Structure 1
Amino acid sequence: MIAQEEVSPGSAEEGENYFVSMTDMMVGILFIFIIMLMVFALDFRTQTDVQENAIEIAKEIAQRLSELEEEVREQISSLDEAQDTRRRMLEDIQNQLASRGLHVQIDEAHGVLRLTEEAVRFPVNSTELGSQARANVETIALVLANVLPNYSACDSGLTDRRCSSSGLAFVETVFVEGHTDVTGNDERNWQLSTERAVNTYRALVTAAPSLRDLRNEKSEEVLSVSGYSSTRPINAAETKAAWEENRRIDLRFVMEVDNRKRLQQIMGLTDEMKIEIDRLVNASGDGS
């Protein structure tokens, strides 16, 4: 049984980037909200006829704002930590592969290890790994089996089912992504890209069975597969050389960053601040 298959575009990268973008937006709104509250509170302080109750509420809001600011800073720091952890992991994999004579590209911004045509090449209209490509995939598998346990939440292959409690950022999923060039039938290209990913996945776990023991924090297998047809070319030129580049396998590393939970936390905190504003307004109204 293989890990999750996916044949529609826009899964891992868009999901991750979407929630990071949403977090950035919420943080921006939150800071605007904080500025407005501070102006509001300072305005009350300048009024001589404000009730003492309103002043006390304003002090409470100032304290709550300080706590809220620290919470936002911690959340931004956790996102930065996950990004930095992924960068170090990719560089570690790249360096270990280079020491074995296999050169790959990394895209730090999107967490992608690109297995170029020098590493894994597929013939036109084929999903089979040639002898050299299979040997290269086996080398990649051994390096992944050496590096990934250091960045995985759990390892079910050990007798004590090791689960880290370090609090560091962990790998949530490693997508084995299949790609095709733009030539040929689009429906066939979807099939080709997915089968290329599946065959690469099978070669990886055959060479290093321990990869299937690695789990994320939800106890799901880390390795998964996806196919993107010709929708994500790395070379848009209409040439044979470009098409060869685009018939490739990418490994996309998605970190454990629960953006949805963070957004809910921020929204909950802003709701609390709205309640405090209402208290302040009501207290001011009573004293006017």
Structure 2
Amino acid sequence: MIVAEPDHRAVSHAEEDENYFVSMTDMMVGILFIFIIMLMVFALHFRQQTDETVKLTAEQQQQLQKANELAEQIAQLRRQIVAEIAELNKADQARARLLEKIQRKLDEVGLKVTIERETGVLRLTEEAIRFSPDSSVLDDTAKRNVDAVAKVLLDVLANYAACPDTETCPGASGYVVETVFIEGHTDRTGDDSRNWQLSTERAVNTYRRIVDNFPGLRKLRNSDHREILSVSGYAYTRPATEQDDSEGFRINRRIDLRFVMEADRRERLTEVLDLLDKMEKKVDELSPTGTSVISTAPTARP
């Protein structure tokens, strides 16, 4: 009987295949394990970044909300200022009509005056009031002319005052005069201290002549219940002409009436608008995207 011997080469080859398969399996498991660890690390890192991004986004949203609220407040204030400036322009137009009416009425009685609409000045020329050098005395002609001016003022200003007396003061027709300054001026000759005194004396003497003969003007009040008429002296600081001769000196020795409406605050409002512009730039800086959160519509300027 013949017994077959095992094929040691076949067994050896099978064992080698099995060992190779086990090694590959272990390696794949190891690689998979490493991959899982890396995936977990990436997931944890991604979650951390996401949480930080969400937190940062929430802070940015809160900052943007504050910026938008501030921007809306600024825009509202800007609209109010622009509306008030428009109202000031209307007040200027009302003052121009007032000056023109006074000029027209004085012209009807033969008294020539000049007006400056931009500054609200009614100028009593040397033909109306003529002062001698170093004198504040009103001569007879000047007194008659001052009386004519006072009569017209009483007639016209009643419609631009805020007093409650309906018989002598009908009340303002939309716009109120805050003050009418009776301004005295001198030429550039003489002592500076004397010129300041002299210009004030000329204004005071004119004022006294007006209220003594037309006391009704003292009843005219502004919204603060103060008299409309007031006086001021400017020496030679506001010349009507730069002529450096006797004619120029005569022109500058004069009386001006300056009409100030209660709404004359344009310069201050313009400064506020400039401040708003700076505030808007600061608000834009709060925007996380760097884009403007404020309307860029053009703003009316005086």
Residue 93 (str. 1) matches residue 102 (str. 2): yes
Distance 1:158 1:62 in 2: 50
Distance 1:146 1:75 in 2: 29
1:244 maps to 250
Deviations 1:114-140, CA, capped at 9 Å, x for gaps? 000000111122111111110000000
Partners of 2:158 and 2:171 within 8 A in 1: no
Residue 196 (str. 1) matches residue 202 (str. 2): yes
Relative contact order: is structure 1 or structure 2 higher (C-alpha 8 Å, sep ≥ 6)? 1
Partners of 1:106 and 1:112 within 8 A in 2: yes
| The one of 147, 156, 178 aligned to 1:138 | 147
Structure 2-normalised TM-score?
A: 0.65
Measure how far apart 1:228 and its partner are: 1.0
Distance 2:185 2:268 in 1: 32
1:151 maps to 160
Measure how far apart 1:232 and its partner are: 1.5
Measure how far apart 1:62 and its partner are: 6.8
Residue 122 (str. 1) matches residue 131 (str. 2): yes
% identical equivalent positions:
46
Distance 1:230 1:242 in 2: 12
Q: Report the CA distance shift for 1:263/1:155 in structure 2 as closer, same or farther (over 3 A).
A: farther
Measure how far apart 1:162 and its partner are: 6.2
| The one of 208, 212, 235 aligned to 1:206 | 212
Measure how far apart 1:58 and its partner are: 7.1
Residue 111 (str. 1) matches residue 120 (str. 2): yes
Partners of 2:186 and 2:235 within 8 A in 1: yes
2:191 maps to 185
Q: How does 1:1-288 map to 2 (within 5 A)?
A: 64=73, 67-156=76-165, 158=167, 164=172, 168-257=174-263, 259=265
Q: Report the CA distance shift for 1:94/1:275 in structure 2 as closer, same or farther (over 3 A).
A: same
Structure 1-normalised TM-score?
A: 0.68
Aligned length: 232
Partners of 1:157 and 1:214 within 8 A in 2: no
Distance 1:239 1:155 in 2: 49
Q: Report the CA distance shift for 1:59/1:191 in structure 2 as closer, same or farther (over 3 A).
A: closer
- When structure 1 is superposed on structure 2, of 266-275 and 247-256 the one drifting more is 266-275
Distance 1:55 1:239 in 2: 67
Measure how far apart 1:88 and its partner are: 0.7
Q: Report the CA distance shift for 1:127/1:156 in structure 2 as closer, same or farther (over 3 A).
A: farther
Distance 2:171 2:205 in 1: 29
Code of the aligned partner of 2:148: T
1:31 maps to none
Deviations 1:82-121, CA, capped at 9 Å, x for gaps? 2111111000100000011101000111110000000011
Partners of 2:160 and 2:171 within 8 A in 1: no
Q: Which runs of 5+ in 2 are unaligned?
A: 1-56, 289-302
**SS in structure 1 of the partner of residue 180 of structure 2:** strand
Q: Report the CA distance shift for 1:57/1:181 in structure 2 as closer, same or farther (over 3 A).
A: closer
Distance 1:185 1:279 in 2: 60
Distance 1:184 1:59 in 2: 62
Code of the aligned partner of 2:242: A
Distance 1:133 1:236 in 2: 24
* Larger Rg belongs to: 2
Code of the aligned partner of 2:184: G
Measure how far apart 1:241 and its partner are: 0.9
